Amino acid sequence: MLPARASAYKGGSKDLELSSSRVDTYAEQIRTKYGIEMVPDIPTLLSRVDGVLLTSVDGRVHLEQVRLAIAAHKPLFIDKPLATTLEDAREIARLAKEAAVPWFSSSSLRFQSIAASKFPDTQGVLVWGPGPFQPHHYLDLSFYAIHAIELLYTIMGPGCETVTRIASPSADTVVGLWKDGRTGTVRANRTSRDIGVVTFRVNDVVESHPKATTGAETALTEEIVKFFQTGKPPVPNQETLEIFAFMDAAQRSKEQGGKPVALR
């Protein structure tokens, strides 16, 4: 169970505007509105909590921060993106496995009701969503397009073998070929905020429009609470790692001018 009293560490990244422009405001809100004690560093935090929610928006710092939590044997929820490289993602998983520390990472969109998009006879899926980039993140899809990619994997499941990516100023289109012959496509739009899913069935096509709403965040929060209570991640770690292998292959395809690239 989570402790009755919570503590928080502010952190923040000065060279990432999305972090530096908001972290002070959020920290003050956590302290004054919710009465959560702010502590000066992560070791102090770890001495006062039973579980850790790592919500830094900067995936570059996650491995360094996770090392401390894993060494303290604290179960972890790691907000998106888990990391900015496949190597960092795998190192987080390796460290946690060696220490027997449970963890998971996920987009809130995964826990929305997408029954209208998920069928046993699915032959392929098209997902679109916002895809702005941060220059600090090597896997540029990991910063925000990961939401759409999480939706793709929620419906398709793991098993992608090769990825092809076409990049343009307005959007990037990524196509994955699964080992059973199904195809999954993600369109990361640079400006549009719309999110959509088209599922291609044997004799039908179904469209749905999940939303990144408060309800989605509430559903994710409920999953986080259950995870801390049971130690069982709602998203398999191997699936999360394949998502990063998918984005890694997409990055290499982009760098090679759109050639098909196998997942590492």
Please, what are the domains in the chain?
7-105 (3.40.50.720), 109-213+244-262 (3.30.360.10)
Q: What is the pTM of this model?
A: 0.90
Whether the per-residue pLDDT at 115 is higher than 70: the answer is: no
Among 17-31, 111-125, 211-225, the minimum mean pLDDT is found in 17-31
pLDDT at 200: 95
* DSSP for 136-200, written as a single string: T-SSGGGTTTHHHHHHHHHHH-S-EEEEEEEE-SSEEEEEEEETTS-EEEEEEESS----EEEEE
CA nearest neighbour of 3 among 69, 74, 58, 55: 74
Tens digits of residue pLDDT in 120-168: 999 999 999 999 988 888 999 998 999 999 999 999 999 999 999 999 9
Whether the per-residue pLDDT at 198 is higher than 50: the answer is: yes
Tens digits of residue pLDDT in 244-258: 999 999 999 999 999
Whether the per-residue pLDDT at 243 is higher than 70: the answer is: yes
- Distance separating alpha carbons of residues 101 and 117, to the nearest angstrom: 33
Whether the per-residue pLDDT at 97 is higher than 70: the answer is: yes
pLDDT at 4: 45
pLDDT at 3: 45
- Distance separating alpha carbons of residues 122 and 108, to the nearest angstrom: 23
- Using CB atoms within 10 A of its CB, is residue 195 exposed (0-12), middle (13-18) or buried (19+)? buried
Tokens of 13: 């990244």
Tokens of 260: 């098909």
Helix, strand or coil, per DSSP, at residue 264: coil
pLDDT at 55: 87
- Distance separating alpha carbons of residues 79 and 104, to the nearest angstrom: 9
Helix, strand or coil, per DSSP, at residue 90: helix
Helix, strand or coil, per DSSP, at residue 235: coil
Share of the chain above pLDDT 90, in %: 70
Strand partners, 188: 129, 172
- Distance separating alpha carbons of residues 140 and 159, to the nearest angstrom: 22
Whether the per-residue pLDDT at 83 is higher than 90: the answer is: yes
Mean pLDDT of 84-98: 98
Is residue 155 within 8 A of residue 117, CB to CB? The reply is: yes
Where are the alpha helices (H) located in 54-134, listed in sequence order?
Answer: 62-71, 86-99
Q: Confidence band (pLDDT; 50, 70, 90) for 6? A: confident
Side-chain-side CA neighbours of residue 72 (13 Å): 19
